[in-house]
Structure 1
Amino acid sequence: MQELYYTQTLPISLDEAWTFFSDPANLKEITPPHMDFVVTSKSRADKMYAGQIIRYIVKPVLGIPLKWCTEITHVVDKQYFVDEQRFGPYAFWHHQHRFTAVENGTFMEDILHYKIPFGFLGNWVDALFVQGEVQGIFDYRKKVLTARFPG
């Protein structure tokens, strides 16, 4: 299992950060365009809640569409939320999004645990491809957020 940790401080209030990141409609904006990310579920709530199911289609490899379904399993308003894969490309996916108000902004932490299926072969694919792709997603996100919320 991989454990990855990413941080970023944005020059926006905790309220603004929470509003942006807790809205699944904003996921497309912070996902690299080549992945052709589309949220396919319709939200029936005006705010995120534990038990919320979010469905996507993503094309991470050679334009091949993959269906992905996550559940928001934990939410503490303006502190953190957790999404866990229910169906999709990973054998395991657990992603914590944490937010802390700091002087002149919000400090964000992403703690990601994931595992690729298929045992030894999956470990090989992870080392050759997936780790770099995940790093690229977070690098892209950091660039987009820095441009969207300049300091």
Structure 2
Amino acid sequence: MDKFERNEQIEIEELEHDLRACMRHVPAPEGFTDRVMQRVAAREAARKQKNRLAVFASAHKRASWWTAVAATLLFAVGGDMVHLHHVREARRAAEAQQQLDLALQLTNHALDQVDTSMERTQAARFTQIALELAK
């Protein structure tokens, strides 16, 4: 065995010794278990509190979502009602226009009859006057 191998062997033995020293069982200090369990309990309580807040936040988000849905439905129904109102008004206006057109046609027909009657009457008068003048 040469010098290099001996130094390496010594280093390995020292390393093994150090590892054994580090790995030997050391009893936990007094109260260690209680402190660890207190931390676990504190973290568990914090986690539960966080979950409660998360549930509240989730419920708040759901409430906001339902509010948005309700508002959307309200606008949709309101818009539909306005549209139906305009459709009804347009129908009423169309009916009124048809009635007006019919009334104007009837009036025009009546005026045409009056005009024809007047023309006949006037023609008869002219004929009568012409006959009287011819006598």
TM-score by length of 2: 0.21
- Greater RCO between the two (CA within 8 Å, min separation 6)? 1
- Structure with higher Rg: it is 2
1 or 2, which has the higher strand percentage?
1
Give 1 or 2: higher helix fraction: 2
TM-score between both structures, scaled by the size of structure 1: 0.19
